[in-house]
């Protein structure tokens, strides 16, 4: 087993806390994301598809299941994930149709101009600081008439909520709110300046649409999906082991590194009964954007 980086560690353990039931729920959810992304493109035999931030290869394998005669290029900033995807491709018998490149989302060097029919991305461009460059590169490698389809999380409102907590604490001290704030401020930007400097919190859905138009895409469609739902009862240990995104520490790590033992006990006494009784809720914000490069005959 290769040594993990922050990306592979999160995909393998951080997003589900190492819990099999949580991992199963995540698999269903990410499968739905992939299906919606692919619904926005028309895959045909012989096409070339690029998946940016391919991770373990979820999007590539879903695309090949829909259209087995595709050629697929998988890129990722994580070498451990690329190696895992290569192993999976061999296991699935599709390695001959796949190419793997160690690249970030803002540079597709080694990919020829106008060489691809489809570009997909799921939860990858969110972590790219220069999103302008990412859209330019996507536009460059697509053929005229080629399609882009992506799904990216919207974290800005989580960061805005942390900023609101900070302002509330500045107005009046509240001991429990301070603990909650320190927890969330370790996972999301906690000031307007930090939000502006953050790859994950400095954009909205309108920014992605604007960047697509600026890059040259002629037609585009955007959907913002916001889903709020009660969370089922969860094991406290699993809850503490989960990180909301690859750049964030888990609550377990935050309490160990940033809280005194007394503060950790107080936060657990407040949160654990709510978590184990299913008295919390989750909000998922996902941006779906599809666009077409003009110029098809």
Residues 248-257 pLDDT 10s = 999 999 999 9
**Confidence at residue 296, expressed as pLDDT on a 0 to 100 scale:** 72
Q: What CATH number is associated with residue 66?
A: 3.40.50.150
Q: Is 44 exposed, middle or buried (CB count within 10 Å of its CB: 0-12, 13-18, 19+)?
A: exposed
Q: Residues 173, 144: one domain?
A: no
User: What distance, in Å, lies between the first and last C-alpha atoms of the chain?
Assistant: 48
Q: Residues 164, 85: one domain?
A: no
State the Cα–Cα distance between residues 90 and 68, nearest whole angstrom.
Answer: 15
Q: Look at strands 98-102 and 116-122 and give their pairing.
A: unpaired
Give 48-76 pLDDT, tens digit per residue: 999 999 999 999 999 999 999 999 999 99
297, part of any domain: no
- Compute the average pLDDT of residues 175-202: 97
**Confidence at residue 1, expressed as pLDDT on a 0 to 100 scale:** 46
Give 139-169 pLDDT, tens digit per residue: 999 999 999 999 999 999 999 999 999 999 9
How many distinct structural domains can be found in the chain?
Answer: 2
3-class DSSP string for 96-121? HHEEEEECCCCCCCCCCCCCEEEEEE
199, part of any domain: no
Whether 207 and 135 have beta carbons less than 8 Å apart is answered as: no
Q: Is 2 exposed, middle or buried (CB count within 10 Å of its CB: 0-12, 13-18, 19+)?
A: exposed
Query: Which backbone phi and psi does 178 adopt, to 5 degrees?
Result: -65, -40
Work out the pLDDT band at 2, boundaries 50, 70, 90: low
**Confidence at residue 3, expressed as pLDDT on a 0 to 100 scale:** 81
Q: Residues 171, 217: one domain?
A: no
Q: Residues 31, 52: one domain?
A: yes
Q: Residues 169, 85: one domain?
A: no
Q: Residues 244, 270: one domain?
A: yes
Give 204-241 pLDDT, tens digit per residue: 999 999 999 999 999 999 999 999 999 999 999 999 99
Domain containing 12 equals 6-154+204-230+282-292
């Amino acid at each position: 087993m290769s040594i993990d980086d922050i990306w592979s560690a999160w995909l393998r353990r951080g997003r589900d806390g190492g819990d099999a039931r949580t991992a199963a729920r995540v698999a269903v959810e990410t499968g739905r994301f992939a299906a919606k992304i692919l619904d926005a493109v028309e895959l045909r035999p012989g096409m070339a598809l690029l998946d940016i931030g391919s991770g373990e290869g979820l999007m590539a394998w879903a695309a090949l299941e829909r259209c087995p005669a595709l050629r697929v290029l998988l890129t990722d900033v994580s070498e451990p994930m690329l190696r895992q995807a290569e192993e999976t491709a061999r296991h699935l018998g599709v390695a001959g149709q796949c190419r793997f490149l160690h690249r970030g989302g803002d540079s597709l060097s080694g990919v020829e101009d106008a060489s691809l029919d489809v570009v997909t991305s799921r939860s990858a461009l969110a972590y790219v600081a220069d999103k302008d460059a990412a859209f330019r590169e996507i536009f460059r490698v697509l053929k005229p008439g080629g399609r882009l389809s992506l799904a990216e999380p919207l974290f800005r409102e989580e960061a805005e909520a942390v900023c609101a907590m900070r302002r509330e604490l500045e107005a009046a001290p509240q001991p429990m709110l301070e603990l909650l704030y320190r927890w969330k401020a370790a996972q999301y930007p906690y000031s307007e300046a930090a939000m502006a400097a953050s790859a994950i919190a400095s954009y909205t859905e309108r920014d992605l649409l604007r960047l697509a138009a600026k890059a040259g895409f002629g037609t585009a469609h955007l959907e913002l999906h916001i889903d709020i739902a009660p969370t089922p009862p969860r094991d406290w240990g699993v809850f503490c082991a989960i990180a909301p995104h690859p750049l964030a520490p888990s609550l377990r790590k935050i309490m160990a590194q940033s809280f005194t033992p007394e503060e950790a006990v107080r936060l657990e006494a407040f949160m654990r009964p709510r978590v184990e009784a299913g008295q919390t809720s989750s909000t998922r914000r996902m941006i779906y954007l599809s666009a077409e490069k003009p110029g098809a005959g």
